[in-house]
Structures are given as C-alpha cells and as structure tokens.
Structure 1
Amino acid sequence: MNNKTILLTGGGTAGHVSLNQALIPELKNLGFHVEYIGSKEGIENELIRESFPSVPYHAISSGKLRRYFSTKNFSDPFRVGAGLVQALTIIRKTKPVAIFSKGGFVSVPVVMAGRMMSIPVIIHESDVTPGLANKLALPFADHIFTVFKETLAHVPNDKSTCTGSVIRNELMEGTAEKGREISSFSNKLPVLMVMGGSQGSAMINSAIHNNLEQLLKQFNIIHLCGKGNHVAELDIHENYRQFEYVTHELPHLLHMTDFVVSRAGSNSIFEFLALKKPMLLVPLSIQKSRGDQILNANLFKKQGFAKVVEEEELSAERFMKELSQLQSDKDQLIETMTQAEAPITAAEMAKLVATFTK
C-alpha cells in the first residue's frame, strides 16, 4: 500500500475522539500512514498527542457553531474560513487517500476541504440524530456510518450504513483484578462507578456528595468527577475514590464495576452495554444540549438496557430511589443486554473505512 495517508479529524469532546483513537492502530496495521487534524485548544489536541506521539497532529482554527445568540457568532465564521484554508493546505501537502471525520466543530472545514480537493470523505455519527457539525458536513460526505439504525432516517439513505457500535480493543482487554489494584478497596461491597462525561457533571457530582454517607454503606464508589472537581476533603473515605479523568485505567475500572451512573453519550453507553453493566443514565438536558443524550438514553431504556432519570428530576431523594431500582432490576437488565446485537471491532471498522480510499 506504500503507506498511503488517511487523515482523521474530530474533536471538542472525548466522544469525538475516542473512535479515532481506536482506529489509529488498526489503520496502521492495514498499512496506512495516519495524520490528525484537530483544533488548537480542544481536548483532541491533548488526547491524540498523548496517546500517539508519532502521529502528526495539525492544529487548525475552529469556530464554534452555536444555536444561541453570542457575539462570537460574528467572529467565528472567520475562524471557520481560516480553518478551511489551513485544511486545504494540509490536504495538498499530505495527499490523503481518504478523510475520516468523527464530528465536532473542527471537522466541518476539514470535510469541506476534502470535497473541494476530491478526496473521499467518510463521516461517523454516534448519536440518534446528527449533531449540527455533522448536519453541515453531510452534503460533502461520500459515505456516512451510523451506530443507531434510527439514524438512517436522518441521513441520505443512498450513502449511509448502520454498523452498530464500535468497541475499542482495550475495553475488552481490561481486567477486574487490575481494577482492584488501581482502586485498592479493602472490602467486598459492590462497586458503583459514577461518570459525568469528560468535563464532569455538577448535577451528578452533587447527587453523589449529598448522598455520600448513605451510599458508602452500600457501595465502593469510583467517581470520575471531571477536571477541577476533585474535593480533597472527601478522600478520607476508604471506599470512595475520586478521579478527575482516566484513560488507560478505565477498562480495568469498568470490568470491576457492578453498577454505573452516567451521562448518556453514545460511546460510553455502548461500552457499558458491551460489558453488561446495569446503568442509570442522566442525559444532558435540552437546555444544555441539542437533546441527543435524551434520545440515546430513551432508546436504551425502551430496549431494556438502562434506567433513566431526567436531569431536571435529579433530586438527592430521586437519585437514591432510582439507584435502588437499578439494584433490584440488575438481573433482568443483564439478561436483556446479553441478547443485544454484538458490536463490531475497531479492526472491522478500519477495514470498512479502507474500502472508500482512492
């Protein structure tokens, strides 16, 4: 293959980066040279440079595409325009055989530049309905891959395929034994993992803190609280572990987990499903998002994979009630998840991407 180049793009949140992280080694195994286009300040800059220091990272200007009024709405189009020019320059230099986009604001100028340069563009959409960035990018795509079958109603049918979820290899390679080493719990209480997304969730964190005394009687708690949300005085509890963010440790911690409380990002909930972890989902409200997590969570609830509580209803008392119900329904949830359609591997996804190269 002579090390033909594939450009990956996507960023803004960890969910827009994690699939790309899983694909990079698999694309390399297929003989491709991989380079990445991301923003200068987004989380993708840190994640890609840290995980793959040998992968060339190209930082471009990226404007945020807002659905609400902001004075930055007047300046950000110029940043998107600058990003387009920068992406065109990178494409001319790297001569990729394809561009794979996971979405996020930074991906829009890259996808547009790819179409302008007649480079095959492949988009991946994880949520039930496409985000604003992917909506803008769809007309420039040669093919769209989706996780949910329901998404096919929102994208062009003649160039779309539902693959189901893609699970990274590291997730299945985690071990509960290693998780116990990391957490060093001294008792055998069931393990509750609490996740609020890469930035954390003030509302979920508050529900945990307000019920902590009662929760610690029932669980060992692994709390992924988000950057800057670590509460030092709570470290005195022997069965409570706080992490602002974890990367390589997460598969091990998940394998030792009995119950999960989480936001409802697509990547995360499908990982819980793959590991058969009973989950209580607290999706981002419509006031804070476009409602994609609500759709994700309600589909999982409808299929019997999860319990759901809306953010607006998440009082300390309601949280404990829902968590108790999650415990009661544990066996039924696991049985239903066992019957779910198997995910595809990152290696299989990489092969699908390769079919669209020039």
Structure 2
Amino acid sequence: MNKSKQTYKFILSGGGTGGHIYPAIAIANELKSRYNGSEFLFVGAKDRMEMEKVPQAGYNIEGLWISGIQRKLTLKNLMFPFKLMSSLFKSRRIISKFKPDVAIGTGGFASGPLLQVANSKGIPTLIQEQNSYPGITNKLLSKKANRICVAYEGLERFFPKEKIVLTGNPIRKDLIEIKSKKAEALIEFGLEENKLTLLVLGGSLGARRVNQLIESKLDFFKNHEIQLIWQCGKLYQEQYSTYNANDNVQVHAFLNTMDLAYAAADIIISRAGASSVSELCVVGKPVIFIPSPNVAEDHQTKNAQAIVDKAAAILVKESQLDSDFNKVFEQLLKSEDTRKSLETNIKKMALVNATKDIVDEVEKLLKVNEQ
C-alpha cells in the first residue's frame, strides 16, 4: 500500500441495504489508510440504515429526502419528483460547501442525485456496481461517470466498455483465510467434528421463505445427521428461537463471527445479494442459492445464475423449493465429488483484492484531475 502525505476530500454515497453501505465504508477505510488526514463525507437517504451505520464506522453523513419508485401507483410515487428536486438541490449545496476531489457511489437511492450533481460540476466520479444486472440509477449515471468498477464479467451490455474495470466487491478481510479456523469454529459453535454442518443465511433482517423451508425440513436434516447453524434474522428471532432446544439446531438472529460460521460450514444455503455472493466465492464452500424474487430487476437470480453458469453453485428458485429441495440436497450430500467440484469452481471466481483495486482506480482519477 502506498501511503501519501497528500490529502484530499472524498464524498461517498451508498445506502438502503448493507450491500451498498459496507462497500462504501470499506472504500473509505482504504482511502483513509492511504491518504491520512483526508476529509470524508457520506451522503445517504434520511430514513435508511446508512444514517446509523456510517456514524458507527466513524464518518460524517448528510441525509437527502429521497426514496425509490414503487412498482405500483402509491402516494410515495407521487412524491418522487418533489423528493428528487429536493435531493438535487441539497446535493448541490453539499458539494459546493464540501468541494470534493472525487465522488464515489456504491448504489442506493441517494447516490443518484449526488453523483448527478458531481458529474455536472466536473468532479471525477466512480461507480461501484455490485450486481450482475445493474439498476436504473447506475445505468443513467454511467453515461457521465469516469470509472465503473464491477464484480461480474459481461457488463459492457449496460455500461460503456472503456470505463469498466473488473474489481469485484469489497469483502471482510477476516474471510480470506478461514481454512485454518475450522477447529476454533467447531468449539465456538459447539459442533461435532464427525457430522456435516449446514449454515443457513437469510440476511440481517431474515428471509421469510428460507426460514419457512428450514423449519419444514428440521426432521429431514435430523434424519441425515446434519447439524444446523440457522441465521434467521432479527425479524424472525422470536418465532424460531424455540428450536434452539433441539439437538443439532442453533438459531441466531445475527452472526457476529461470520468468519467462524463460514469455517464451520460444510454446505451453505444463502440468498444471492451481491455482497453475499462475493463473500461466498472467497469462502469457497458448496452453496445452494435461494434468490429473493422480490428485488429490483430480479437481480439476485441473475447474480446466482452467473455463478451457476460456471458450475460453481446450485440454484433453487423459491417457486421450486417444495418440489426440488429434498432431491437437490440429498444429491449434494451423497456426492463428495460434487461438493469438491463446487468448492474448486467457486473459489476460481473470487476477487479478493477488490477494495484495493477500487481505490487504485480512485487514485488514477485523482492524478488525472491534478494534471
């Protein structure tokens, strides 16, 4: 890492979900380590989780009155033009006052107005697109953006090819080497070494259909001598915590030691949000993706399919769980060769230096701007 005595002003926007917020924070942390003494300002949506998470990470944040467009006619949709005008006006004020050297967007409602204003003022902009299928905001911003960092191949279908750099998504550094943590993980979760462990991940809030599936399959897992680490999400903790009394089942609202949970797992069931997919490529375990169908552009299915196309994971759609899950899971259990093949193939897709590579691109924009 090249540390510089030069200082800059960085403005970042990413929010709505952890998948947008944590990459932005990771990029800011890497920039801070390279350019000690630089100034940072985040811009988010007023009522979203970034207003809490960004200050917890030690950064200042300004909130815009902005939200997405709903799929059906609602009062929120009627308010959208007013919110957009308000957000563009406030973004102009923020940028005029802060005077950033570069603007970075990692997705979310607020990144649209902020980067639009930055582009109009000639400030270098970088977009970090986490998904295999970008949303409308990043498609629009890409026309004026200087650099677009992506996590999947083939995005020249949506973005100007000359601006695209394949970097991957920022991931937690403690996930890069989990193989050596298996013994510690078994102790941490009180697991038996001679039984296979299934890790179920539904995101921080939880995934209703995934939780329903796991609840309905507890006897099925018991019959196959599977021990279960079930992250059900905070919305569902009360509903499912009673199953902690079962042998071989432990229910968690949230997993604070994700590295050890991954290290303990022999098979993983997961949603297919961009950050989760990037982490799972690095972790390198057999994965069954159950994408959420209730997201914009059905991007989780597209994220999962990009991995499945490389014979690196299994995809079961929510609509096929009742008919297909048992058969798919039993085939995976019976074939150690299949599990090893999935591990090998998904690891090939890992991009472990994403944060560094994205900040290298920011650095190039700074140098061009100084010339």
Instruction: Say whether the fold is shared (TM-score over 0.5).
Output: yes
> Are 2:248 and 1:243 aligned?
no
Report matched runs for 1:55-204 at 5 Å.
55-172=59-176, 175-185=181-191, 188-204=194-210
TM-score by length of 2: 0.88
> Are 2:341 and 1:332 aligned?
yes
Give unpaired runs (5+ residues) of structure 1.
none
Deviation at 1:341, TM superposition (A): 5.8
Task: Name the CA shift for 1:9/1:158 in 2 (closer, same or farther; >3 Å).
Answer: same
- Counterparts of 2:21 and 2:175 in 1: how far apart (Å)? 15
Task: Name the CA shift for 1:181/1:98 in 2 (closer, same or farther; >3 Å).
Answer: farther
Deviation at 1:304, TM superposition (A): 0.8
Question: SS in structure 1 opposite 2:304?
Answer: helix
Cα deviation, 1:194-240, whole Å, max 9, x if unaligned, reads 11233321111100000112214432212221221112321212432
- Counterparts of 2:295 and 2:327 in 1: how far apart (Å)? 25
Q: Select the residue among 318, 340, 351 that pairs with 1:311.
A: 318
Q: Give the % identical residues.
A: 25
> Are 2:43 and 1:34 aligned?
no
Q: 1:228 maps to which residue?
A: 235
Structure 1 stretches of 4+ with a deviation exceeding 4 A read none
Task: Name the CA shift for 1:35/1:238 in 2 (closer, same or farther; >3 Å).
Answer: farther
Q: 1:301 maps to which residue?
A: 308
Deviation at 1:67, TM superposition (A): 3.8
Deviation at 1:34, TM superposition (A): 2.5
- Counterparts of 1:252 and 1:351 in 2: how far apart (Å)? 30
Cα deviation, 1:151-187, whole Å, max 9, x if unaligned, reads 1221112322222444332322653355345423356
Task: Name the CA shift for 1:63/1:166 in 2 (closer, same or farther; >3 Å).
Answer: closer
Deviation at 1:48, TM superposition (A): 2.1
Deviation at 1:40, TM superposition (A): 2.2
User: How many residues are paired up?
Assistant: 353
TM-score by length of 1: 0.91
Question: SS in structure 2 opposite 1:290?
Answer: helix
Q: 2:268 maps to which residue?
A: 260
Retained in 2: the 8 A contact 1:65–1:105? no
Deviation at 1:11, TM superposition (A): 1.0
Question: SS in structure 2 opposite 1:191?
Answer: strand
Cα deviation, 1:52-79, whole Å, max 9, x if unaligned, reads 1x21122221121334332311102212
Letter in 2 for 1:153: R
Deviation at 1:334, TM superposition (A): 1.7
Letter in 2 for 1:123: I
Deviation at 1:41, TM superposition (A): 2.1
Task: Name the CA shift for 1:22/1:171 in 2 (closer, same or farther; >3 Å).
Answer: farther
Letter in 2 for 1:311: E
- Counterparts of 1:306 and 1:75 in 2: how far apart (Å)? 42
Give unpaired runs (5+ residues) of structure 2.
none
Question: SS in structure 2 opposite 1:89?
Answer: helix
Letter in 1 for 2:60: P
Task: Name the CA shift for 1:71/1:92 in 2 (closer, same or farther; >3 Å).
Answer: same
Q: 1:206 maps to which residue?
A: 212
- Counterparts of 1:252 and 1:2 in 2: how far apart (Å)? 38
Deviation at 1:250, TM superposition (A): 1.4
Q: 2:279 maps to which residue?
A: 271
Q: Tell me whether 80-89 or 168-177 shows the greater mean CA deviation.
A: 168-177
> Are 2:16 and 1:7 aligned?
no
Retained in 2: the 8 A contact 1:168–1:345? no
Deviation at 1:29, TM superposition (A): 0.8
Cα deviation, 1:296-320, whole Å, max 9, x if unaligned, reads 11121110110111111111x5222
Deviation at 1:103, TM superposition (A): 0.7
Question: SS in structure 2 opposite 1:213?
Answer: helix
Retained in 1: the 8 A contact 2:149–2:358? no
- Counterparts of 2:273 and 2:80 in 1: how far apart (Å)? 26
Cα deviation, 1:312-344, whole Å, max 9, x if unaligned, reads 1111x5222222223322122123234446442
Question: SS in structure 2 opposite 1:140?
Answer: coil
Q: Select the residue among 16, 21, 27 that pairs with 1:23.
A: 27
- Counterparts of 1:132 and 1:338 in 2: how far apart (Å)? 30
Deviation at 1:345, TM superposition (A): 3.8
- Counterparts of 1:298 and 1:23 in 2: how far apart (Å)? 27
Q: 2:298 maps to which residue?
A: 291
